[in-house]
Amino acid sequence: MSSDDSASAMKALRLSDYAYIGVRPADEQPAEGPTVILGDHDADGLAYALAQARHVWPDCEAWALVGSDEKMIRTDPTWAPSVHALRTPQQLATFTTA
């Protein structure tokens, strides 16, 4: 993640008051699709969630940080245990990894 991307993501984390924040591919459809939820809303939480997301989507390089106040019941039994869906998530930031 570039320093600009990192600063943008950290700013979004600091300013967000959503109950749930997650990482998922930037082009994920539908909006309520799979998301890896951050355990803590800080740099360590983001790093851990991104590492988990990279296991789920190993070819992804464009990511979105999304927030919501409501986590949905798991709807797909094939999703990894760290993957959930958020109801009407709002995009907080985007970033790339290489």
Asked if 94 and 63 touch (Cβ cutoff 8 Å), the reply is yes
Q: What is the pLDDT of residues 42-75, one digit of tens each?
A: 999 999 999 999 999 999 999 999 999 998 876 6
Residue that has been written with the tokens 């851990």 in this structure? 48
Q: What is the pLDDT of residues 85-94, one digit of tens each?
A: 999 999 999 9
How many residues are given for the chain? 98
How far out from the chain centre does Cα 80 lie?
A: 14
Instruction: Identify the pLDDT of residue 77.
Output: 82
How far out from the chain centre does Cα 60 lie?
A: 12
* Total domain count, the chain: 1
